Structure 1
Amino acid sequence: ISDKRLWRIVHHYVGRMLGELDLSKVVTVGVDETASRRGHRYVTVFLDMQRKREPVIFAVPGCGKDAIQAFSAFLAAHGGDPNNVVEVVCDMSPAFLSGVTEHLPKAEVTVDWFHIVQTFTKRLDEVRKKERREQGHPKSLRWALLKNLDNKNLTPKQLSALQELVADQSATADAWVIKEKLRWIQKAPMPRAARWRITNYLKVMQAAVSEKSLLKPMGKALATLERHADAVVRRWLSGLTNARLEGMNGLFQAARSRARGYRNEANFIAMIYLIGSPVGRLFDQAKST
Protein backbone atom coordinates (compact mmCIF):
# COMPACT_ATOMS: atom_id res chain seq x y z
CA ILE A 1 0.00 0.00 0.00
CA SER A 2 1.40 3.40 -0.96
CA ASP A 3 2.09 6.20 1.48
CA LYS A 4 -0.49 8.44 -0.19
CA ARG A 5 -3.19 5.76 -0.06
CA LEU A 6 -2.46 5.05 3.60
CA TRP A 7 -2.85 8.74 4.49
CA ARG A 8 -6.10 8.95 2.49
CA ILE A 9 -7.47 6.12 4.63
CA VAL A 10 -6.30 7.82 7.84
CA HIS A 11 -7.86 11.15 6.83
CA HIS A 12 -11.11 9.44 5.88
CA TYR A 13 -11.53 7.80 9.28
CA VAL A 14 -10.28 10.79 11.27
CA GLY A 15 -12.77 13.01 9.43
CA ARG A 16 -15.55 10.52 10.06
CA MET A 17 -14.74 10.29 13.77
CA LEU A 18 -14.51 14.08 14.08
CA GLY A 19 -18.06 14.26 12.77
CA GLU A 20 -19.18 12.29 15.83
CA LEU A 21 -17.63 14.65 18.40
CA ASP A 22 -20.12 16.20 20.82
CA LEU A 23 -18.80 19.54 22.05
CA SER A 24 -22.01 20.74 23.67
CA LYS A 25 -20.45 20.84 27.17
CA VAL A 26 -17.29 22.79 26.31
CA VAL A 27 -16.95 25.86 28.57
CA THR A 28 -13.20 26.16 29.30
CA VAL A 29 -10.57 25.95 26.58
CA GLY A 30 -6.78 25.78 26.48
CA VAL A 31 -4.97 27.07 23.39
CA ASP A 32 -1.35 26.69 22.34
CA GLU A 33 0.85 26.37 19.27
CA THR A 34 2.99 23.41 18.28
CA ALA A 35 5.62 23.52 15.54
CA SER A 36 4.61 21.60 12.43
CA ARG A 37 7.96 22.02 10.65
CA ARG A 38 11.03 24.20 10.59
CA GLY A 39 10.67 27.80 9.52
CA HIS A 40 8.04 29.12 11.91
CA ARG A 41 5.21 26.89 10.68
CA TYR A 42 2.70 26.13 13.43
CA VAL A 43 -0.47 24.25 14.20
CA THR A 44 -2.79 25.63 16.89
CA VAL A 45 -4.24 23.01 19.24
CA PHE A 46 -7.36 23.45 21.40
CA LEU A 47 -8.09 21.47 24.58
CA ASP A 48 -11.29 21.01 26.53
CA MET A 49 -9.87 21.81 29.97
CA GLN A 50 -12.57 19.77 31.72
CA ARG A 51 -11.76 16.51 29.93
CA LYS A 52 -9.64 14.23 32.08
CA ARG A 53 -8.73 12.03 29.09
CA GLU A 54 -8.29 12.78 25.40
CA PRO A 55 -8.62 16.56 25.83
CA VAL A 56 -7.76 17.67 22.26
CA ILE A 57 -10.91 18.84 20.49
CA PHE A 58 -9.56 20.84 17.55
CA ALA A 59 -6.35 21.53 15.63
CA VAL A 60 -5.82 23.89 12.72
CA PRO A 61 -2.87 25.12 10.62
CA GLY A 62 -1.54 28.55 11.51
CA CYS A 63 -2.04 30.60 14.64
CA GLY A 64 -3.60 33.76 15.99
CA LYS A 65 -6.99 35.28 15.28
CA ASP A 66 -7.81 33.05 12.30
CA ALA A 67 -7.24 29.94 14.42
CA ILE A 68 -9.67 31.19 17.09
CA GLN A 69 -12.26 31.96 14.39
CA ALA A 70 -11.87 28.46 12.92
CA PHE A 71 -12.31 26.92 16.38
CA SER A 72 -15.44 28.97 17.05
CA ALA A 73 -16.99 27.71 13.80
CA PHE A 74 -15.94 24.10 14.53
CA LEU A 75 -17.39 24.32 18.03
CA ALA A 76 -20.74 25.58 16.72
CA ALA A 77 -20.82 22.82 14.08
CA HIS A 78 -20.39 20.12 16.74
CA GLY A 79 -23.11 21.06 19.19
CA GLY A 80 -21.17 23.67 21.13
CA ASP A 81 -21.84 27.37 21.56
CA PRO A 82 -19.00 29.93 21.41
CA ASN A 83 -21.02 32.08 23.83
CA ASN A 84 -20.85 29.29 26.43
CA VAL A 85 -17.04 29.41 26.60
CA VAL A 86 -16.30 31.30 29.81
CA GLU A 87 -12.53 30.90 30.06
CA VAL A 88 -9.60 30.55 27.67
CA VAL A 89 -6.08 29.72 28.82
CA CYS A 90 -3.47 30.94 26.33
CA ASP A 91 -0.31 32.97 25.85
CA MET A 92 -0.09 36.74 25.44
CA SER A 93 -0.16 36.87 21.64
CA PRO A 94 -2.16 39.98 20.60
CA ALA A 95 -3.63 37.98 17.72
CA PHE A 96 -4.88 35.25 20.08
CA LEU A 97 -6.32 37.80 22.50
CA SER A 98 -8.03 39.70 19.70
CA GLY A 99 -9.49 36.45 18.37
CA VAL A 100 -10.87 35.51 21.78
CA THR A 101 -12.52 38.93 22.19
CA GLU A 102 -14.18 38.70 18.78
CA HIS A 103 -15.08 35.02 18.44
CA LEU A 104 -15.47 33.85 22.07
CA PRO A 105 -17.04 37.05 23.43
CA LYS A 106 -18.07 35.76 26.88
CA ALA A 107 -14.68 34.26 27.71
CA GLU A 108 -12.23 35.59 30.30
CA VAL A 109 -8.55 35.05 29.47
CA THR A 110 -6.11 33.36 31.83
CA VAL A 111 -2.46 33.81 30.92
CA ASP A 112 -0.61 30.66 31.82
CA TRP A 113 2.35 31.16 34.18
CA PHE A 114 4.58 29.13 31.88
CA HIS A 115 4.34 31.87 29.25
CA ILE A 116 5.26 34.58 31.77
CA VAL A 117 8.43 32.70 32.74
CA GLN A 118 9.14 32.01 29.07
CA THR A 119 8.95 35.74 28.29
CA PHE A 120 11.36 36.66 31.10
CA THR A 121 13.75 33.85 30.14
CA LYS A 122 13.83 35.06 26.53
CA ARG A 123 14.61 38.64 27.63
CA LEU A 124 17.25 37.38 30.06
CA ASP A 125 19.00 35.64 27.18
CA GLU A 126 18.96 38.91 25.21
CA VAL A 127 20.74 40.64 28.10
CA ARG A 128 23.28 37.81 28.30
CA LYS A 129 24.07 38.04 24.57
CA LYS A 130 24.46 41.83 24.65
CA GLU A 131 26.71 41.78 27.71
CA ARG A 132 28.79 38.89 26.40
CA ARG A 133 29.91 41.13 23.52
CA GLU A 134 31.36 43.57 26.05
CA GLN A 135 32.82 41.22 28.66
CA GLY A 136 33.50 37.56 29.22
CA HIS A 137 31.03 35.24 30.92
CA PRO A 138 31.64 32.07 32.91
CA LYS A 139 31.49 28.90 30.84
CA SER A 140 28.28 26.85 31.11
CA LEU A 141 26.35 30.04 31.93
CA ARG A 142 23.78 29.89 29.12
CA TRP A 143 22.02 26.76 30.40
CA ALA A 144 22.66 27.56 34.06
CA LEU A 145 20.53 30.71 33.69
CA LEU A 146 17.49 28.51 33.14
CA LYS A 147 17.82 27.20 36.69
CA ASN A 148 18.15 28.55 40.24
CA LEU A 149 20.89 28.05 42.81
CA ASP A 150 18.84 25.43 44.67
CA ASN A 151 18.17 23.31 41.57
CA LYS A 152 19.38 19.76 42.18
CA ASN A 153 19.94 19.26 38.45
CA LEU A 154 22.68 21.89 38.28
CA THR A 155 25.97 20.42 37.14
CA PRO A 156 29.05 21.47 39.14
CA LYS A 157 30.12 23.73 36.24
CA GLN A 158 26.67 25.35 36.06
CA LEU A 159 26.60 25.91 39.83
CA SER A 160 30.05 27.50 39.67
CA ALA A 161 28.95 29.69 36.74
CA LEU A 162 25.89 30.95 38.64
CA GLN A 163 27.89 31.63 41.80
CA GLU A 164 30.49 33.56 39.80
CA LEU A 165 27.74 35.47 37.99
CA VAL A 166 25.98 36.57 41.18
CA ALA A 167 29.28 37.69 42.70
CA ASP A 168 30.25 39.96 39.79
CA GLN A 169 27.07 42.11 39.89
CA SER A 170 26.79 42.20 36.09
CA ALA A 171 23.68 43.15 34.12
CA THR A 172 23.15 39.48 33.34
CA ALA A 173 23.22 38.72 37.07
CA ASP A 174 20.63 41.43 37.68
CA ALA A 175 18.45 40.09 34.86
CA TRP A 176 18.69 36.57 36.29
CA VAL A 177 17.64 37.83 39.75
CA ILE A 178 14.65 39.63 38.18
CA LYS A 179 13.60 36.39 36.51
CA GLU A 180 14.16 34.30 39.65
CA LYS A 181 12.09 36.67 41.83
CA LEU A 182 9.05 35.66 39.77
CA ARG A 183 8.95 32.59 42.03
CA TRP A 184 7.86 34.87 44.88
CA ILE A 185 4.77 35.82 42.88
CA GLN A 186 4.12 32.22 41.85
CA LYS A 187 4.02 31.13 45.51
CA ALA A 188 1.25 33.60 46.43
CA PRO A 189 -1.48 31.66 48.30
CA MET A 190 -4.49 33.52 46.89
CA PRO A 191 -5.52 36.03 44.17
CA ARG A 192 -5.35 39.10 46.40
CA ALA A 193 -1.84 38.20 47.54
CA ALA A 194 -0.81 37.54 43.93
CA ARG A 195 -2.05 40.98 42.89
CA TRP A 196 -0.17 42.64 45.78
CA ARG A 197 3.02 40.74 44.98
CA ILE A 198 2.85 41.61 41.26
CA THR A 199 2.38 45.31 42.08
CA ASN A 200 5.32 45.42 44.49
CA TYR A 201 7.53 43.24 42.31
CA LEU A 202 6.98 45.57 39.35
CA LYS A 203 7.74 48.66 41.44
CA VAL A 204 11.06 47.31 42.72
CA MET A 205 12.22 45.68 39.49
CA GLN A 206 11.31 48.60 37.23
CA ALA A 207 13.46 50.82 39.46
CA ALA A 208 16.35 48.35 39.16
CA VAL A 209 16.02 48.15 35.38
CA SER A 210 16.17 51.93 35.01
CA GLU A 211 19.71 51.97 36.42
CA LYS A 212 21.37 49.91 33.65
CA SER A 213 20.84 50.35 29.91
CA LEU A 214 21.70 46.70 29.27
CA LEU A 215 18.58 45.73 31.22
CA LYS A 216 16.18 47.25 28.68
CA PRO A 217 15.01 43.78 27.51
CA MET A 218 13.96 43.01 31.09
CA GLY A 219 12.03 46.28 31.11
CA LYS A 220 10.04 44.91 28.17
CA ALA A 221 9.32 41.71 30.10
CA LEU A 222 8.15 43.72 33.11
CA ALA A 223 5.89 45.81 30.86
CA THR A 224 4.37 42.60 29.48
CA LEU A 225 3.61 41.34 32.98
CA GLU A 226 2.10 44.70 33.95
CA ARG A 227 -0.06 44.79 30.82
CA HIS A 228 -1.44 41.30 31.41
CA ALA A 229 -1.58 41.34 35.23
CA ASP A 230 -5.36 40.79 35.38
CA ALA A 231 -5.13 37.72 33.14
CA VAL A 232 -2.20 36.40 35.18
CA VAL A 233 -4.10 36.77 38.48
CA ARG A 234 -6.98 34.76 36.99
CA ARG A 235 -4.66 31.76 37.29
CA TRP A 236 -5.27 31.86 41.06
CA LEU A 237 -9.03 32.21 40.58
CA SER A 238 -9.53 29.36 38.13
CA GLY A 239 -6.63 27.05 38.90
CA LEU A 240 -6.32 26.38 35.16
CA THR A 241 -2.95 26.10 33.41
CA ASN A 242 -1.71 24.92 30.04
CA ALA A 243 0.54 22.32 31.68
CA ARG A 244 -1.40 19.47 30.06
CA LEU A 245 -1.10 21.04 26.65
CA GLU A 246 2.61 21.64 27.12
CA GLY A 247 2.96 17.97 28.07
CA MET A 248 0.96 16.85 25.05
CA ASN A 249 3.02 19.13 22.86
CA GLY A 250 5.97 16.94 23.80
CA LEU A 251 4.07 13.88 22.56
CA PHE A 252 3.18 15.61 19.29
CA GLN A 253 6.78 16.65 18.69
CA ALA A 254 8.03 13.15 19.55
CA ALA A 255 5.67 11.74 16.92
CA ARG A 256 6.90 14.31 14.41
CA SER A 257 10.50 13.44 15.22
CA ARG A 258 9.89 9.69 14.82
CA ALA A 259 8.30 10.31 11.44
CA ARG A 260 11.14 12.70 10.52
CA GLY A 261 8.46 15.27 9.78
CA TYR A 262 5.18 14.94 7.95
CA ARG A 263 4.62 15.65 4.27
CA ASN A 264 2.08 18.34 5.12
CA GLU A 265 0.28 19.92 8.05
CA ALA A 266 -2.89 17.91 7.40
CA ASN A 267 -1.00 14.69 8.16
CA PHE A 268 0.48 16.16 11.34
CA ILE A 269 -2.97 17.31 12.47
CA ALA A 270 -4.38 13.82 11.84
CA MET A 271 -1.70 12.41 14.17
CA ILE A 272 -2.50 15.05 16.80
CA TYR A 273 -6.11 13.88 16.78
CA LEU A 274 -5.12 10.21 16.98
CA ILE A 275 -2.72 10.88 19.89
CA GLY A 276 -4.67 13.35 21.99
CA SER A 277 -8.37 13.39 21.13
CA PRO A 278 -11.38 11.06 21.43
CA VAL A 279 -10.90 10.37 17.72
CA GLY A 280 -8.25 7.75 18.50
CA ARG A 281 -10.60 5.81 20.78
CA LEU A 282 -13.51 6.12 18.36
CA PHE A 283 -11.21 4.93 15.59
CA ASP A 284 -10.27 1.82 17.61
CA GLN A 285 -13.94 1.13 18.35
CA ALA A 286 -14.81 1.42 14.68
CA LYS A 287 -12.09 -1.10 13.76
CA SER A 288 -13.39 -3.64 16.28
CA THR A 289 -17.01 -3.53 15.05
Structure 2
Amino acid sequence: MTVFLDMQRKQEPVIFAVPGHGKDAIKAFSAFLSAHGGDPDNVVEVVCDMSQAFLSGVAENLPKAEVTVDWFHIVQTFTKRLDEVRKKERREQEHPKSLRWALLKSLENENLTPKQLVALQELVADQSATSDAWVIKEKLRWIQKASTPRAARWRITNYLKVMKAAVAEKPLLKPMGKALATLERHADAVVRRWLSGLTNARLEGMNGLFQAARSRARGYRNEANFIAMIYLIGSPVGRLFDQAKST
Protein backbone atom coordinates (compact mmCIF):
# COMPACT_ATOMS: atom_id res chain seq x y z
CA MET A 1 0.00 0.00 0.00
CA THR A 2 1.25 3.49 -0.91
CA VAL A 3 -0.23 6.56 0.75
CA PHE A 4 0.32 10.10 -0.51
CA LEU A 5 0.16 13.11 1.80
CA ASP A 6 -0.03 16.82 1.09
CA MET A 7 2.87 18.05 3.21
CA GLN A 8 1.47 21.60 3.27
CA ARG A 9 -1.87 20.55 4.71
CA LYS A 10 -1.82 20.81 8.50
CA GLN A 11 -4.82 18.53 9.03
CA GLU A 12 -6.25 15.59 7.12
CA PRO A 13 -3.23 15.37 4.78
CA VAL A 14 -4.08 12.15 2.93
CA ILE A 15 -4.89 12.82 -0.72
CA PHE A 16 -4.47 9.40 -2.33
CA ALA A 17 -3.92 5.75 -1.46
CA VAL A 18 -3.34 2.87 -3.83
CA PRO A 19 -2.41 -0.82 -3.53
CA GLY A 20 1.20 -1.70 -4.28
CA HIS A 21 4.45 0.21 -4.35
CA GLY A 22 6.91 1.70 -6.78
CA LYS A 23 6.50 3.06 -10.28
CA ASP A 24 2.90 1.92 -10.77
CA ALA A 25 1.83 3.69 -7.57
CA ILE A 26 3.37 6.97 -8.75
CA LYS A 27 1.75 6.58 -12.16
CA ALA A 28 -1.63 6.02 -10.52
CA PHE A 29 -1.16 9.12 -8.35
CA SER A 30 -0.26 11.23 -11.38
CA ALA A 31 -3.39 10.00 -13.19
CA PHE A 32 -5.48 10.74 -10.10
CA LEU A 33 -4.22 14.33 -10.02
CA SER A 34 -4.98 14.86 -13.69
CA ALA A 35 -8.45 13.34 -13.37
CA HIS A 36 -9.33 15.69 -10.51
CA GLY A 37 -8.18 18.98 -11.97
CA GLY A 38 -4.63 18.78 -10.66
CA ASP A 39 -1.38 18.96 -12.56
CA PRO A 40 1.49 16.54 -11.86
CA ASP A 41 3.88 19.32 -12.89
CA ASN A 42 2.77 21.29 -9.83
CA VAL A 43 4.31 18.68 -7.53
CA VAL A 44 7.69 20.24 -6.76
CA GLU A 45 8.83 18.31 -3.67
CA VAL A 46 8.69 14.60 -2.84
CA VAL A 47 10.03 12.92 0.28
CA CYS A 48 10.39 9.15 0.16
CA ASP A 49 12.62 6.14 0.73
CA MET A 50 15.32 4.89 -1.64
CA SER A 51 13.30 2.37 -3.65
CA GLN A 52 14.66 2.56 -7.19
CA ALA A 53 11.25 1.73 -8.64
CA PHE A 54 9.69 4.55 -6.63
CA LEU A 55 12.39 7.04 -7.62
CA SER A 56 12.03 6.07 -11.28
CA GLY A 57 8.28 6.57 -10.99
CA VAL A 58 8.80 10.06 -9.59
CA ALA A 59 11.21 10.96 -12.41
CA GLU A 60 8.78 9.75 -15.09
CA ASN A 61 5.45 10.92 -13.67
CA LEU A 62 6.32 13.94 -11.51
CA PRO A 63 9.06 15.49 -13.67
CA LYS A 64 9.23 18.84 -11.84
CA ALA A 65 9.64 17.29 -8.39
CA GLU A 66 12.84 17.48 -6.35
CA VAL A 67 13.39 14.37 -4.24
CA THR A 68 14.33 14.35 -0.56
CA VAL A 69 15.45 11.00 0.86
CA ASP A 70 14.32 10.93 4.47
CA TRP A 71 17.21 10.59 6.93
CA PHE A 72 15.32 7.85 8.74
CA HIS A 73 15.79 5.56 5.73
CA ILE A 74 19.53 6.18 5.66
CA VAL A 75 19.86 5.22 9.32
CA GLN A 76 17.57 2.25 8.75
CA THR A 77 19.81 1.02 5.92
CA PHE A 78 22.97 1.27 8.03
CA THR A 79 21.25 -0.40 10.99
CA LYS A 80 20.14 -3.31 8.81
CA ARG A 81 23.66 -3.78 7.45
CA LEU A 82 25.10 -3.54 10.96
CA ASP A 83 22.84 -6.38 12.05
CA GLU A 84 24.11 -8.46 9.13
CA VAL A 85 27.68 -7.93 10.37
CA ARG A 86 26.62 -8.90 13.90
CA LYS A 87 24.98 -12.12 12.70
CA LYS A 88 28.00 -13.12 10.61
CA GLU A 89 30.51 -12.44 13.36
CA ARG A 90 28.40 -14.15 15.98
CA ARG A 91 29.01 -17.42 14.16
CA GLU A 92 32.73 -17.00 14.84
CA GLN A 93 32.87 -15.43 18.30
CA GLU A 94 30.65 -14.80 21.30
CA HIS A 95 29.05 -11.38 21.69
CA PRO A 96 28.05 -9.57 24.89
CA LYS A 97 24.54 -10.31 26.07
CA SER A 98 21.85 -7.69 25.27
CA LEU A 99 23.95 -6.52 22.31
CA ARG A 100 21.33 -6.86 19.60
CA TRP A 101 19.08 -4.07 20.88
CA ALA A 102 21.95 -2.03 22.29
CA LEU A 103 23.32 -1.62 18.77
CA LEU A 104 20.30 0.52 17.92
CA LYS A 105 21.46 3.13 20.43
CA SER A 106 24.48 5.26 21.27
CA LEU A 107 26.49 5.36 24.48
CA GLU A 108 24.85 8.72 25.26
CA ASN A 109 21.32 7.39 24.85
CA GLU A 110 19.33 7.94 28.04
CA ASN A 111 17.14 4.93 27.27
CA LEU A 112 19.99 2.45 27.49
CA THR A 113 19.33 -0.21 30.07
CA PRO A 114 22.26 -1.07 32.40
CA LYS A 115 22.77 -4.35 30.53
CA GLN A 116 22.76 -2.61 27.16
CA LEU A 117 25.28 -0.04 28.40
CA VAL A 118 27.60 -2.80 29.56
CA ALA A 119 27.14 -4.60 26.23
CA LEU A 120 28.14 -1.49 24.26
CA GLN A 121 31.11 -0.80 26.50
CA GLU A 122 32.33 -4.39 26.06
CA LEU A 123 31.75 -4.12 22.31
CA VAL A 124 33.83 -0.94 21.96
CA ALA A 125 36.64 -2.45 24.03
CA ASP A 126 36.55 -5.64 21.96
CA GLN A 127 37.35 -3.82 18.67
CA SER A 128 35.54 -6.47 16.67
CA ALA A 129 33.98 -6.15 13.22
CA THR A 130 30.63 -5.51 14.86
CA SER A 131 32.24 -2.76 16.91
CA ASP A 132 33.62 -1.17 13.73
CA ALA A 133 30.23 -1.44 12.02
CA TRP A 134 28.50 0.18 14.99
CA VAL A 135 30.98 3.08 14.92
CA ILE A 136 30.33 3.56 11.20
CA LYS A 137 26.60 3.71 11.89
CA GLU A 138 27.01 6.05 14.86
CA LYS A 139 29.20 8.50 12.91
CA LEU A 140 26.18 9.24 10.74
CA ARG A 141 25.12 11.53 13.59
CA TRP A 142 28.00 13.83 12.63
CA ILE A 143 26.46 14.28 9.20
CA GLN A 144 22.99 14.79 10.65
CA LYS A 145 24.23 17.67 12.81
CA ALA A 146 25.42 19.71 9.81
CA SER A 147 23.91 23.19 9.87
CA THR A 148 23.77 23.91 6.13
CA PRO A 149 23.44 21.96 2.85
CA ARG A 150 27.05 22.82 1.99
CA ALA A 151 28.26 21.54 5.35
CA ALA A 152 26.18 18.38 4.92
CA ARG A 153 27.70 17.73 1.50
CA TRP A 154 31.22 18.26 2.87
CA ARG A 155 30.58 15.94 5.79
CA ILE A 156 29.09 13.22 3.58
CA THR A 157 32.09 13.41 1.22
CA ASN A 158 34.63 13.13 4.04
CA TYR A 159 32.61 10.53 5.96
CA LEU A 160 32.49 8.31 2.86
CA LYS A 161 36.22 8.73 2.23
CA VAL A 162 37.18 7.68 5.76
CA MET A 163 34.62 4.89 6.17
CA LYS A 164 35.21 3.31 2.75
CA ALA A 165 38.88 3.04 3.68
CA ALA A 166 37.91 1.50 7.03
CA VAL A 167 35.87 -1.31 5.45
CA ALA A 168 38.24 -2.03 2.56
CA GLU A 169 39.56 -5.60 2.45
CA LYS A 170 37.58 -6.60 5.55
CA PRO A 171 35.14 -9.34 4.49
CA LEU A 172 32.99 -9.13 7.62
CA LEU A 173 32.39 -5.42 6.96
CA LYS A 174 31.18 -5.97 3.41
CA PRO A 175 27.56 -5.18 4.39
CA MET A 176 28.67 -1.78 5.67
CA GLY A 177 30.38 -1.17 2.34
CA LYS A 178 26.98 -1.69 0.70
CA ALA A 179 25.42 0.83 3.09
CA LEU A 180 28.12 3.36 2.26
CA ALA A 181 27.49 2.81 -1.45
CA THR A 182 23.80 3.47 -0.89
CA LEU A 183 24.54 6.76 0.85
CA GLU A 184 26.94 7.77 -1.91
CA ARG A 185 24.40 6.92 -4.60
CA HIS A 186 21.66 9.00 -2.98
CA ALA A 187 23.83 11.80 -1.58
CA ASP A 188 22.11 14.56 -3.58
CA ALA A 189 18.66 13.54 -2.35
CA VAL A 190 19.99 13.24 1.22
CA VAL A 191 21.46 16.76 1.10
CA ARG A 192 18.10 17.96 -0.24
CA ARG A 193 16.80 17.38 3.29
CA TRP A 194 18.67 20.51 4.44
CA LEU A 195 16.89 22.55 1.74
CA SER A 196 13.35 21.16 1.80
CA GLY A 197 13.10 20.48 5.54
CA LEU A 198 10.90 17.49 4.69
CA THR A 199 10.83 14.15 6.50
CA ASN A 200 8.61 11.08 6.47
CA ALA A 201 7.86 11.49 10.18
CA ARG A 202 4.31 12.62 9.57
CA LEU A 203 3.56 9.71 7.27
CA GLU A 204 5.08 7.29 9.79
CA GLY A 205 2.78 8.76 12.45
CA MET A 206 -0.25 8.44 10.19
CA ASN A 207 0.73 4.88 9.32
CA GLY A 208 0.61 4.04 13.01
CA LEU A 209 -3.04 5.17 13.06
CA PHE A 210 -3.83 3.14 9.95
CA GLN A 211 -2.26 -0.01 11.35
CA ALA A 212 -4.02 0.47 14.68
CA ALA A 213 -7.34 0.68 12.84
CA ARG A 214 -6.47 -2.46 10.91
CA SER A 215 -5.63 -4.24 14.16
CA ARG A 216 -8.90 -3.19 15.80
CA ALA A 217 -10.79 -4.47 12.77
CA ARG A 218 -8.72 -7.67 12.86
CA GLY A 219 -7.73 -7.00 9.30
CA TYR A 220 -9.76 -6.07 6.25
CA ARG A 221 -11.24 -8.50 3.76
CA ASN A 222 -9.80 -6.58 0.83
CA GLU A 223 -7.53 -3.64 0.07
CA ALA A 224 -10.45 -1.44 -0.99
CA ASN A 225 -11.86 -1.56 2.54
CA PHE A 226 -8.47 -0.68 4.03
CA ILE A 227 -8.07 2.24 1.62
CA ALA A 228 -11.55 3.47 2.59
CA MET A 229 -10.48 3.43 6.25
CA ILE A 230 -7.30 5.35 5.39
CA TYR A 231 -9.40 8.07 3.78
CA LEU A 232 -11.78 8.16 6.75
CA ILE A 233 -8.89 8.59 9.19
CA GLY A 234 -6.57 10.88 7.27
CA SER A 235 -8.47 12.85 4.65
CA PRO A 236 -11.30 15.45 4.65
CA VAL A 237 -13.67 12.61 3.75
CA GLY A 238 -13.61 11.54 7.39
CA ARG A 239 -14.67 14.98 8.60
CA LEU A 240 -17.47 15.18 6.03
CA PHE A 241 -18.64 11.73 7.11
CA ASP A 242 -18.73 12.83 10.75
CA GLN A 243 -20.68 15.96 9.82
CA ALA A 244 -23.20 13.90 7.87
CA LYS A 245 -23.74 11.61 10.87
CA SER A 246 -24.40 14.58 13.15
CA THR A 247 -27.12 16.09 10.95
TM-score normalised by L of structure 2:
0.98
| Cα shift readout 1:137-191 (whole Å, capped 9, x = no counterpart) | 1111111111111111111111111111111001011101100100000000010
Q: Which among 241, 251, 256 is matched to residue 214 of structure 2?
A: 256
Q: Work out the CA distance in 1 between the residues paired with 2:182 and 2:227.
A: 31
Moved more, 62-71 or 275-284: 275-284
Q: CA deviation at 1:253?
A: 1.4
TM-score normalised by L of structure 1:
0.84
Q: CA deviation at 1:268?
A: 1.2
| Cα shift readout 1:102-153 (whole Å, capped 9, x = no counterpart) | 1111111110101100110110111011111111111111111111111111
Q: CA deviation at 1:250?
A: 1.2
Moved more, 54-63 or 265-274: 265-274
Q: Work out the CA distance in 1 between the residues paired with 2:33 and 2:236.
A: 15
In structure 2, the partner of 1:105 is 63
Choose between structure 1 and 2: higher strand proportion.
Answer: 1
In structure 2, the partner of 1:130 is 88
Q: CA deviation at 1:272?
A: 1.0
Q: Work out the CA distance in 1 between the residues paired with 2:92 and 2:196.
A: 45
- Aligned residue for 1:134, secondary structure, equals coil
- Aligned residue for 1:152, secondary structure, equals coil
Q: Equivalent pairs: percent with the same residue?
A: 92
Q: Work out the CA distance in 2 between the residues paired with 1:139 and 1:233.
A: 37
Q: CA deviation at 1:213?
A: 1.0
Q: Work out the CA distance in 2 between the residues paired with 1:258 and 1:135.
A: 44
| Cα shift readout 1:221-259 (whole Å, capped 9, x = no counterpart) | 000000000000000011111110011111111112222
Q: CA deviation at 1:211?
A: 4.2
Q: Give the count of matched residue pairs.
A: 247
Q: Work out the CA distance in 1 between the residues paired with 2:222 and 2:98.
A: 38
Q: Work out the CA distance in 1 between the residues paired with 2:36 and 2:141.
A: 41
- Aligned residue for 1:46, secondary structure, equals strand
In structure 2, the partner of 1:153 is 111
Q: CA deviation at 1:265?
A: 1.3
Are 2:245 and 1:284 aligned?
A: no
Q: CA deviation at 1:287?
A: 2.6
Q: Work out the CA distance in 2 between the residues paired with 1:252 and 1:138.
A: 37
In structure 1, the partner of 2:182 is 224
| Cα shift readout 1:33-72 (whole Å, capped 9, x = no counterpart) | xxxxxxxxxx101000100111111111000000000001
Q: Work out the CA distance in 1 between the residues paired with 2:114 and 2:15.
A: 44
Q: Work out the CA distance in 1 between the residues paired with 2:226 and 2:96.
A: 41
Moved more, 247-256 or 128-137: 247-256
Are 2:182 and 1:201 aligned?
A: no
Q: Work out the CA distance in 2 between the residues paired with 1:97 and 1:171.
A: 33
Q: Work out the CA distance in 2 between the residues paired with 1:136 and 1:265.
A: 45
- Aligned residue for 1:96, secondary structure, equals helix
Q: Work out the CA distance in 2 between the residues paired with 1:143 and 1:56.
A: 33
Are 2:5 and 1:47 aligned?
A: yes
Q: CA deviation at 1:285?
A: 2.1
Q: CA deviation at 1:279?
A: 1.2
Q: Work out the CA distance in 1 between the residues paired with 2:193 and 2:229.
A: 30
Q: CA deviation at 1:275?
A: 1.1
Q: Work out the CA distance in 1 between the residues paired with 2:236 and 2:175.
A: 42
Q: Work out the CA distance in 1 between the residues paired with 2:235 and 2:76.
A: 27
Q: CA deviation at 1:288?
A: 3.1
Q: CA deviation at 1:277?
A: 1.2
Q: CA deviation at 1:273?
A: 1.0
Q: CA deviation at 1:212?
A: 1.7
